[in-house]
Every structure is written in structure tokens, then in C-alpha cells.
Structure 1
Amino acid sequence: MIKNNVKSLPKAKTSKMDLSTKISVFFITTIVLVILAVLVGYILYKSVPVFKEFSFFKFLFSGMWAPARDGEDGSYGLGKIILSTLMMLFLTLLFAIPLTIFSSLFITEYLKNRTKKFVITMIQLLAGIPSVVFGLFALDQIGPIFVAMGAPTSGNMMTASFTLAFMALPTMISLSVNAIESVPEGHRFASLGLGMTKEKTTFGVVLVAAMPKIITAIITGVARIIGETMAVILIAGNSTKGLNTGDGFFGFIFSSIRTLAGTIGLEMLENHGTTHESALYAIGMVLFVIVIFINLLIIAVGNINNKKTKSIKNLKHKKTKSIKNNYRYDNHNLNILVHTYTEKRFAKKVNSFILNFFMISSTAIIVGFTSWILLTVMIKGIGGFDSAAFVEIEGQRSGIFALLFTTILLVLATIIFAIPLALIVAIYLAEYAHKDSKFAKVIRFSINVLASTPSIVFGVFGLSLFVVGMGIPMSIFAASLTMTIVILPSMITNFEDSITGVPLLYKEAAYGMGMTKTGVLLKVIIPNSTKGLVTATILAVARIIGESAPVYLTLGTAVRMPSEGFFSSGATLTTQIYMMASEGNDPHTLGVAYQIALVTIFLVLGLNFLSKYIGFKLNPINKKISIKMRFKLFIGMFTWTSIKKVSLKTKKDTISLYKKWINFFNFKRMKIYIKNAKTRNKVIKTIKSESKLKSKSKNKTEIKESEN
């Protein structure tokens, strides 16, 4: 009886209000789906003209991209651009994957309490830095390092790959940490109980168990790398000639390249005719197809993981049978094997030292890079502080105040559109849609695809539909409509998670008291999911501030006060950083760009910490803790003493590892190890030969019995 009551909720009273609420939710959900379908359909429609002149395969695999100019015939081939994008992706993953795996394992399996919180906070700080700030930093700091190594300019494939690796790391690490933490503790205890070292357990058991989800995290990072636009435009070089294969290895890795997303961002506002514009839309279609393929790959990896658990059980059963049938150990041989194997310590210690070294160094690299970029922005932003820039930037009508005001208006307008739409769709998915229905699965898949779609694709859609098609001028209003579509998928997902997080007992109690479905929604579900809704909204605001590609295409680039309200054109903080960074290496210009970057980072990181603070405050467990104590706990993570403790601990760990390695590196122990290895191999050979003889004799007896 108890099980049946838990599975099925009490029937709610139906009323006209419930019917109207249900119809409204269905209607607005349908509108959102229609908007998303129009986005895809419009991009496909605008891509058609280029395929009338060029075949699909010629467009994809031809190597020449030369848009028509001054009446000349153009050539639109993506072969070299696709190859450059894939090569940049390969180099980026070459940096990102080892750092992700080693640092994620070190964070989850070795760090504890305060140190773990400190490292995770540093990774979250890295995630909060806007992409254009990465581009500005790479152009000013990373590019010159590669120039000193032989690169012709700061903008090249190596600079772009190295920077994109650190841009994708926060997403990849956070998902990987969640995957590793979900591995049952029993796996670790069983491995350690069998005598395996901590490092062997971490890499041989925990990593293997979490690998499918880690692969999913890496695939998600691939979507971020391929879709990045404005930062890549600043640091990749933007040459359409493709990879440099004539100047050796260094000439190859320092090639000036152009990516798919970067081509759209560079040429959309200055396209030369219908065919050129259609070719840019076709690039957007290619990016969209890549994103769909990535999401299908994530689903396939998840299904493989489910099948793998079943196959592992069958394999274990088969292995135990074969071992029982083939090998017989007597006490003498078994004692020799155990004794000689326990002396095999040198190899274990070397292996542990190497793995520890890579884990510690990977985590240190990430923390060091985050500190490097934040300190650079702070030092250059404060060092080159110009109070006059807040009122008027040189060569512009207004200053940073105008940029800040325009950004705030864009945030307000976007949130006004996005919150109701996202909330209603989330309510439909959480409360009305059946979990096993194909329609709900299609909606969720579409939302996941759009959540990982490059923002430049949304920018192109907004430019064509809202600005060109509907005649809305390039303004805050047009940019807010575009940004609503950009943040809508992630907001729907976060809102749905917060709504489904409301305990089932709350709903049962409300229905048991005779409340209607609408009453439960308004008085139970939404109030109890306020924490998640507010947090998701603040994170969406931080993304609006950090985005630049869609805003660049729909708002404009002129620095001016928004005197016409929501119909004013202008520039936001991030688009102005992009414009100033692309102008050149003038020290004064870069100083003002760093100043704007400092304001942007303070805004974005402040909003991220505000979301955490609200989540902490709304948690009933933490209500007894005073605000003063919370502030001390937060500041305590960044004090010199806490940082010193972290560095001293890692220093002690590395010294102890070096000492252990040196102690075991002696010739006497190596002689013992070699001698034991020889005896162990002899015993194993004798056991195998005896088992073969026994199996042959068994086969002969079976044959004789069958003949008789």
C-alpha cells in the first residue's frame, strides 16, 4: 500500500483555471518551439542560393574562399577553412584533455576541504572571464611568447589553440569532476583492499568507471571550441590561405588560419552580394549540423555506457570460469609468487611518482594561468587607469559609462523577454509532459542542440530576421530579441532542474489538502524552486554581459549614450573590448581596453558570486550563520595564509615523493627485484606448462571415452 501511494500522486481538483493554465502553457511552449524551428528553417532557406551556383560537395571540399568583389566572380570553398578549424581543434584538445583528466582526478581524489574549494573557485573564476577578454590577453601576453619562438605574428594557430584550451577547460573539468564523484566509494575501497596503490586505484578503477562521462565532457568542450568566434578572430590570424605546409614544423603550427565561425563574424556585416551572404548562412548551417552530430554522439556514448555495464558482468563470469578450468596453484608456487610480487615496490613507486607529478603540475598550470590572466587584467586595468575614459574614450562620442549603461539596458530587455518564456516551457516539461513521450524527448534534444549552438549563428539569424526582415534598426531592442534566443535553451534547462528538485512530498501534501494544479504550481512549486530560478537568472545575466558575437551583429559598435532608450544603437563593454583589441597594439588603446575588461570581469564575477550567495542564503541549513561569518569564510579562501597553506602542502607532498623515489633507487634493491622477477617468471612458466599438460590429458581421456 505504501509503495502505491508513493508512486501515484493524489488526483488534483480540476477547474476552469487549471484548463486555462494548461492551454496557456501549451500555447507558449508551442510559440517557443515555432521560434526555434523558424531559426533553423530560416538559416536553411538563406543557404539555398549558394548551392544553385556551387554544388554541395564543391562548397564543402573546394579549397578556395575568395568572395566576389568589384564585379569579379567569387569562389566559395570551405575545404581549407574546415581543415584549419579541425587542426586548431586537434591542437586545442592536445592541451585540454590531459589537463582535464589529471586535474579532475587530483581535485576529487587527493584534495580535501579548503584546498579543494580554493582550486574549484579558481576554475569558476576562469569560467566567468568573457571570451573577448581571453582574446585581448592572448593578443597581448601569449602571442608575443610564440613570436619569440619563431611565429611571424601574435595571431596564429598555436596562440588560438592554447587560449581556446583554457577557455574550454572550466566546462570540461566541472563535468569531469561530477562524473568522477559519481563513482561509488565501494569501487575505491575494493581496489585498495586488494593491495593496489592509491594512484593505481585512481587511474585503473575510478578513471575507467568515469570514462564514458568524461568523454561526454570532452565532447561538450568541443562544441565550445568550434563555436568560439570573437576571441578567435583576434588571435588566429584570419588568413584564408589555409595551413602553411612549406616552412617546416614551426611554420605549420604558427600558420595564420581562419575558422568557420570566424569567417561569419568577419564578413557578415560587409558581405558582397546575395551569393556571398548565402555562403555565410551555409557556414552557419554547417556549424548547426556539427552541433547536432555532437549531441547525437553524447547520446551514443551514454547508451554505450549502459550496454558496457552488462557486458562487463558477462566477461567477468567467463573469465572466472576459464581461470577455474585452466590454472591450479599449489601452496609452494603460490607462496613464491606472493613473496616475489610484494618485493616489486620500485616500479610501483616510480609509477606513483610520475602520476602524482602530472596531476599536481596540471592543477598548478590551471591555477597559475587563472592567476596570470586575472592579475594581468587588474594590474594593466588599474595601472593604465584613465578617469577621462569613463566620460569619453578617445575617438568616440562617449566613454565607459555609456558602455555600462547600454549593457544594463540590454540585460533588462533580454531578461524581460526570456524569463516568462523559459519558465513556462520549463513548467511544461517538468509538470505536464510525460517523461517517456517522444514529443518531450524531441523538445529536450532540440534544447540541448540549441544550447551548444555557436552564438554567432544566433547573431546571423537576429541580423537577418529582426534587423533586415522586420525592419527593426540595429538597437538594444533587436539585440535583446537575439540574446533572448541565445540564453533561452540554458535557462529552460536550469529552470526545469530547479522545478523538478521540489520534493514530491510537498506536492502530495498540497493535493491532499484539495489544492488545484494551478494552486500547486503558484503556491508550492514556484516558491520552493525560487533558489534555482534566481540562480539561473543571475547566471543568464552574466552570460548576456559576456557575449559579444550576437550583440556585435545586431546592436552596433559606436560608443554613445542610449538617448533613444531601447531603440538606441551603440556598443556594450565586450564589443568595445573587441573593437579596441582589433585596432592594434597602441599602448593607450590597450590600456583603455584593459580598463573596460576590468569593469566587465568585476560585473560578471560579481554576478556569479551573487548567485552562489543567494543559493547559500536560501538554503535553510545555512540560515543560522551570520552574514559576517559568511563573508569571513569567503574572504578566508583568498587570504595569504590560506594560499600559503595550499602551496606549502603541495610543496611537502612533492618533496616527500622525491625522497621516496630516491630512497628506492638503489642497486641492491634493483638486484633483488631482478632476481625475484626471474624466479617469478619460472614459476609462472611451470604453472602454465602443467596446466597445458593437464588439459591435453583431459582431452585425450574425453576422446577415448567418446570412442568407447
Structure 2
Amino acid sequence: MTLKLKTLSKDSKKSMKEKIKTMKRYKSKSKKIDIASKNLIIFMTTIVIFILAILVSFILYKSVNFFKDFSFFKFIFSGDWAPGKDGASDASYGIGRIILSTLMMLLISLLFAIPLTIFSSLFICEYLSGRLKKFVILFIQLLAGIPSVVFGLFAIDQIGPMFIRMGAPTGANMMTASLTLSFMALPTMIALSINAIEAVPVGHKYASLALGMTKERTTFSVILVSATPKIITAIITGIARIIGETMAVILIAGNSAKGLNVDDGITGFLFSSIKTLAGTIGLEMLENNGLTHESSLYAIGLVLFIVVILINFLIIAIGNIGNRKRNKHKKNKKFASSDYNKNYSYDPHKLDVLVKTNTESRLSKKVHSTILRGFMITSTAIIIGFISWILITVVAKGLVNFDSKAFVEISGQRSGIFALLLTTILLIVSTIIFAIPLSMFIAIYLAEYAHKDSKFASTIRFCINVLASTPSIVFGVFGLSLFVTAMGLPMSIFAASLTMTIVIMPMMITSFEDSITSVPTLYKEAAYGLGMSKTGVVIKVILPNALKGFMTTIILSVSRIIGESAPVYLTLGTAVRMPTDGFFSSGATLTTEIYMLASEGSSAELLGVAYQIAFVTIILVLGLIFLSRYISNKLDPLFEKVTFKQKIIRIYSSIFKFNYRKWFAKLYKNIRRRFKKLIRALSFKTIKINYKNRKIRKKVIKDIIKDAKKNSISN
């Protein structure tokens, strides 16, 4: 019996040793895999900085020839832009008037966009809830999905003629461009503003309401003030969007290098035909007069790039100001809780009088609330109305001008819409193949490997932000110079996809990182507790749980590829043809053909074909947006799964089984109650009481201030 036990113990010792050896081998193997994967991720991450370095270096290199003969300050501040052939004595290269025109267009756009952004964002966050809130946000997302050239087509056909009736000489002018660009920048500005408002602590709102402030005053005096730094960041991001827009501006701004018209009064000034910085590059890059002219266009690209970097530094500075204010607020809290301030006690009778007189129903209070609520409702209604206007116009005109022959052949071209669609799909596939791995590696590094205080990670994030806000025309110029001219690639789907990869990478990296960081920490801790390596946790835990966000990001990136026209216009071409050479075929996408048709003229036939292509593009983009929402809902385990039959029953019940009589009776009672309140508020007796309370309140506040001063002097 004893011998048997000894042999068992020897066997167990051997098996234990073998297990330990196996575990050591597994650990060393997993450690090697972790090191290899980390090095690969870091290597792929450095590509972002490398891309930015190449981008800046290339633009600088191309601009050098111009700045050898022309000073930078003369280029910026001189007003005449009249490029000529190399060596021409009458050629002048000054962008002063173009800069001034761009800034004035930006200012007018912001005069429309900022109030609409603030009022609508506050209304969506503070007054809407449930399905209605989701519906309004979805509607604004639809505005973001509309390609810029469709905006340009719509502005030529609808907004331009509206301004002609107001006295504009032509439909393409500064006011048309400003109004259109303000609505193009709104989705980005509103989305970031909503995030800022929702980040304000709920306690701020409840504390304000508990002190007797109205909901409207709380919304504007507490919530808006708290979210102001981030809202300013949203506005600055919108500025980058407005400055960088190219193809739509070329269609609707007039493209005159003479600058602002100051001779014909305010009407002539507002309806000036202008040329912008980005528009100048888009118009003249493919049809320049020589090396000097080409180099001057790269110099304009350099100016735009400098503006983008300054905008990003400004965003960082505003963020730092917000942090300083928060730190200062914490110090003030400590000071408020010190013994010095505890020595003073307020008279309970005076406080009671203040509360009673201030919480009385006052006319001014109600008028103030009604006006603010009216502004918020009107702003949201304007945005929804504009989105409805553009969607209804594109769909209606697309259906009216629908011609099946255009799918096979567009007049004056070799092929039709089917060729455009096929070229667009090949561009999407080629771009996604390059963009997904690069973006994924960089997002994993920033979310899982980079230290919070790492300077390398901070540099990468800054580079990503700079690339994200860089005008797409700059990427187009870069792609044309590097991939087509320097590397010798033909103008093709492949060259355009390399350019578009750089365009969509910043957005994909940011969204992928957000999806990875949203995976609960508990999942990762449990995986590490089971002995999984870092690489195993990333592959088997983080990536599967972040799949929902990844799918949404990829679909939205596809809609961005469809909507872009400036980089594609410069690297792919504009001729409508079937992509018979595969990824090395040249041609046109849906959006570039809309631009070509809209720029060629405003005849009914051309506009009809343009609207038909715009209709196909809108259907494609909106389909992708709804697909992204469907996939995100499908992958959400908490989402209520409803069959098609159940949906039909719900819609039928909500329309035909709804108690309309009860709803109208409730509405009548509500209107009657509010009318009685208004009559009571406007009565002489109420006004007299409010005036008396106001006098009492002022007197009590003066007494409290006097007592506080006496107390501070005595202490």
C-alpha cells in the first residue's frame, strides 16, 4: 500500500513538472506574440505621423518654387489674382481679396449657423425625449449624409433663384454660398453641441430649478454656460468645414477673383461674386498655366493647412481654459466652505421675503420663457424644414426626370448611371481594404497600449485631429502630386482609393477608438484573471464586443466615400465610362458627374439628369444610414426585437385605434388653462403685485449686501 502511494506521488510530480513546463512555454510564447503584436501596432501607428509628415513636406516642396520669386507676405496681402503663363509680365499672384472673400462668407455662414446650432441643440437635449428626440437627431443625421455636390445642385436650382428675386444679379453669389454652407456645417456642430450639453452634470440643472429659476432660464444661464467651451469647439470644427468646402462653393459662389463688390451698396456687397481659397485650387489645379501657377496653388494649399493647424491649436487652448475654470471653481468651493464664510449668517426673515417675492408668478418671467422657447422651437423647425425641402426637391425632381436610358448612356458620354454606380462601388471596396486595417491598428494602440500621459500618443492624436479637419481638396492635391505625378500611377480608382484612405482614416480611427474604450473594463479584467495574454484579450474579448461600433463606423465611412468629390475629381477623372480595367480604370463617380453636369450649365435637360443621379446617390446614402442603425440595433442585446407583422399591427393601432376625441378634449383644456393664466398675468392687480414685490426684493437685497459688508469689515 505504501509503495503504491509512492509511485502515485512520483507520477503526480512528473505530471506537475510537465504542466509547469507547458505553462512556461505557453507564457513565453504568448509573451513573444504580445511583443510582436505590440511592435506591429506601434509600427502601423507611426504611419499616421509619417503620412502627415509626407503631406506637409510635399506641399512645402511644391510651394518652394513659387516662394523663390514671390514673398509670402506679398502673396497673402496683395489683392490681385491673375495667373499667367511662366514668364508673363502681367501675371499677378495675390490672394488678399480671396482671403477676405472667404472670411466674409465664413462670417455670414456663422451668423446663420451659430444661433440655429445653440437653440436647436438645447431644445433637442432639454425639451425632447424618447422617440421624438431620436427622430429629430436621425433627421439631422440625414442632412450630414447628403453629399456636398447635391447641396450645390439644390442651391443652384432653388436658393439662387430665391436671391435673384431679392435683387441679386445671378444665382451664384456670396449669400447663396453662405446660406448653403451654414446648413452643410450644422450636422457636425449640432452633434458635438448635443454631446457637450449632455455632458453637463444633472445636479447643476436640479439645483437651479430648486432655487426657483424657470426651465428656460436654467437652460440658458446654467446648462449653456457650463457647456460653452465644448460648444465653442463645435463651432470651430464647423469653421474648418466651411473653409474647406470646395466643389459646392465652385458651383454657387460665382468664382470671380475681383473680390467683394463695395460700389453697389449693401445689396451689391451681399450678392458679390466671390472666389474662395479651396475653390481656387479646385478650379485651376487641372488647368494651370505652368509651373509658377501650379506652385502658387500649392502655396494656397499650404495656407489652408496652416489655418487648419491654428484651428486645432485654438481647440486645445479652449479645452485648457475649460480645465482652468473647473480647477478655479474647485478652489472657490474650498474657499466658500472655509470658517471665514461660515461666520456670517443670513437673516431668515429676509430670505423668506426674497423667496416669496421671487417665486410669485410674474409677467416678465413668463414673457422671457415664451420668447426663449419660441426661438428654440423655430430654430429646430427651420432645420427640419430645410432638410425636408432638399429631400423632397431631390426625390420629386429625380422621379419626374427619371429616364431608364440614362442608366445605359448619358447624352454626350460613353456610358450612363450604371457605369457611375459601378465605379463608385469599386472605389468604396478599394478604399475600405486599405483604411480598415490601418485605422484598426492605430485605434487599438491608442485605446489599449498607449499611456495616458504619453507624448507619442498625444502627437498621434494631434495629427489625427489635423488630418480630420484638413480640407479634402488638400488631400486631392496631395494625391494628384504623389500618387499620379510622382509615383506615375494613372488617374484611376486605385490612385483615388489611396487618397480617400487618408481622407476617411481620421474619422475611422476616432470612431474605432471610441468603440474599443466603450467595452466594459470588467470584461477585460475577467479575461486577464483567466490567464489570457494581452493579444488574446484584444482579439477574443475587445474586438468582438466592439463589433457593433465597428460596423456602424464602416457603413458611415462608405457614405463619406460616396459623398466626397474634390479628391476623387483630381485623382480619378471625370469621363463617364465602364471600369473595364478594374481598379486601374479612370472614370467618374456619382458625385463627380453631378458636379460636371451642374457646372456645365443650367439647362433643363442637364439639371434633369443631374437630379436623377442625385436621387440615386441620396437613396444609396440614406440606405447606408438606415443599414447602420439596423445593424447597431441587431447587435444590441438590450434592443427589443420586433417582427414585421408586429410593426404593422403597431402602426395600424396608433393610427386607427387612437382616441382622437380624448386627445382633442385634453388639448382644448390645456389651451383654455393657458389662456386663463395669460389673462390673469396681464390683469392690473397682478402687475401691481409684481411691481410691489420687485421693490421689496430690491430693498432686501440692498440690506443683505450692507450686512455682509459690515460683517467682512468687523472680521
TM-score scaled by length of structure 1: 0.90
Alignment of 1:164 with 2:181, yes or no, is yes
Structure 1 residues 510-519 or 299-308, which shifts more? 510-519
Displacement after TM superposition at 1:626 (Å)? 3.7
Contact 2:85 2:293 in 1 (8 A): no
Which of 123, 132, 135 pairs up with 1:106? 123
Please list every run of 5 or more consecutive structure 1 residues that lacks an aligned counterpart in the other structure: 1-10, 703-708
After TM superposition, the structure 1 = structure 2 runs for residues 252-263 of structure 1, keeping only pairs within 5 Å, are: 252-263=269-280
Displacement after TM superposition at 1:336 (Å)? 4.9
Displacement after TM superposition at 1:394 (Å)? 1.0
Closer, same or farther: CA 391–186 of 1 in aligned 2, 3 Å: same
Q: What residue is the counterpart of 2:575 in the other structure?
A: 558
Q: What residue is the counterpart of 2:196 in the other structure?
A: 179
Closer, same or farther: CA 531–669 of 1 in aligned 2, 3 Å: same
Q: What residue is the counterpart of 2:394 in the other structure?
A: 377
Which of 549, 558, 567 pairs up with 1:541? 558
Structure 1 residues 404-413 or 244-253, which shifts more? 244-253
Alignment of 1:53 with 2:69, yes or no, is yes
Which of 43, 46, 58 pairs up with 1:27? 43
Displacement after TM superposition at 1:215 (Å)? 1.0
Displacement after TM superposition at 1:511 (Å)? 3.2
Alignment of 1:235 with 2:257, yes or no, is no
Closer, same or farther: CA 316–662 of 1 in aligned 2, 3 Å: farther
Once residues 286 and 638 of structure 1 are traced to their aligned partners in structure 2, the CA distance between those partners, rounded to angstroms, is: 57
Contact 1:328 1:691 in 2 (8 A): no
Displacement after TM superposition at 1:663 (Å)? 4.7
Displacement after TM superposition at 1:659 (Å)? 7.0
SS in 1 for 2:262: coil
SS in 2 for 1:544: helix
Alignment of 1:483 with 2:500, yes or no, is yes
Contact 1:349 1:660 in 2 (8 A): no
Displacement after TM superposition at 1:166 (Å)? 0.7
Closer, same or farther: CA 31–213 of 1 in aligned 2, 3 Å: closer
Closer, same or farther: CA 270–650 of 1 in aligned 2, 3 Å: farther
Once residues 430 and 395 of structure 1 are traced to their aligned partners in structure 2, the CA distance between those partners, rounded to angstroms, is: 52
For 2:303, give the aligned amino acid: V
Alignment of 1:245 with 2:281, yes or no, is no
Contact 1:12 1:515 in 2 (8 A): no
Structure 1 residues 495-504 or 671-680, which shifts more? 671-680
Q: What residue is the counterpart of 2:112 in the other structure?
A: 95
Contact 1:459 1:550 in 2 (8 A): yes
Displacement after TM superposition at 1:213 (Å)? 1.1
Q: Cα deviation per residue 1:107-135 (whole Å; 9 max; x = unaligned)? A: 11111212111211110111110111011
For 1:535, give the aligned amino acid: T
Contact 2:680 2:686 in 1 (8 A): no
Q: Cα deviation per residue 1:421-452 (whole Å; 9 max; x = unaligned)? A: 21222222223322221111101110111011
Once residues 385 and 361 of structure 2 are traced to their aligned partners in structure 1, the CA distance between those partners, rounded to angstroms, is: 37
Closer, same or farther: CA 328–490 of 1 in aligned 2, 3 Å: closer
Displacement after TM superposition at 1:17 (Å)? 3.2
Q: Cα deviation per residue 1:230-261 (whole Å; 9 max; x = unaligned)? A: 01111111111111111111111111111111
Q: Cα deviation per residue 1:521-544 (whole Å; 9 max; x = unaligned)? A: 332232222222222111111111
Q: What residue is the counterpart of 1:587 in the other structure?
A: 604
Closer, same or farther: CA 627–666 of 1 in aligned 2, 3 Å: same
Which of 292, 299, 323 pairs up with 1:306? 323
Displacement after TM superposition at 1:579 (Å)? 0.6
Once residues 242 and 420 of structure 1 are traced to their aligned partners in structure 2, the CA distance between those partners, rounded to angstroms, is: 45
Closer, same or farther: CA 684–510 of 1 in aligned 2, 3 Å: closer
Contact 1:406 1:476 in 2 (8 A): yes
After TM superposition, the structure 1 = structure 2 runs for residues 207-356 of structure 1, keeping only pairs within 5 Å, are: 207-315=224-332, 336-343=353-360, 345-356=362-373
Closer, same or farther: CA 686–473 of 1 in aligned 2, 3 Å: closer
Closer, same or farther: CA 659–278 of 1 in aligned 2, 3 Å: farther
For 1:551, give the aligned amino acid: V
Please list every run of 5 or more consecutive structure 2 residues that lacks an aligned counterpart in the other structure: 1-26
Closer, same or farther: CA 641–191 of 1 in aligned 2, 3 Å: farther
Contact 2:48 2:464 in 1 (8 A): no
Contact 1:467 1:473 in 2 (8 A): yes
SS in 2 for 1:621: coil
Q: What residue is the counterpart of 2:80 in the other structure?
A: 64
Alignment of 1:514 with 2:556, yes or no, is no
Closer, same or farther: CA 392–516 of 1 in aligned 2, 3 Å: same
For 1:230, give the aligned amino acid: M
Contact 1:12 1:516 in 2 (8 A): no
SS in 1 for 2:285: helix
Which of 399, 402, 422 pairs up with 1:405? 422
Q: What residue is the counterpart of 1:8 in the other structure?
A: none
Structure 1 residues 647-656 or 296-305, which shifts more? 647-656
Structure 1 residues 520-529 or 162-171, which shifts more? 520-529
Closer, same or farther: CA 360–229 of 1 in aligned 2, 3 Å: same
Which of 532, 536, 546 pairs up with 1:529? 546
Once residues 150 and 221 of structure 1 are traced to their aligned partners in structure 2, the CA distance between those partners, rounded to angstroms, is: 29
Closer, same or farther: CA 424–317 of 1 in aligned 2, 3 Å: closer
For 1:422, give the aligned amino acid: S
Identity of aligned residues (%): 68
Displacement after TM superposition at 1:331 (Å)? 6.2
Paired residues in the alignment total 686
Once residues 147 and 649 of structure 2 are traced to their aligned partners in structure 1, the CA distance between those partners, rounded to angstroms, is: 27
Displacement after TM superposition at 1:629 (Å)? 6.9
Once residues 300 and 655 of structure 1 are traced to their aligned partners in structure 2, the CA distance between those partners, rounded to angstroms, is: 52
Alignment of 1:505 with 2:522, yes or no, is yes
SS in 2 for 1:52: helix
For 1:99, give the aligned amino acid: L
Displacement after TM superposition at 1:195 (Å)? 0.9
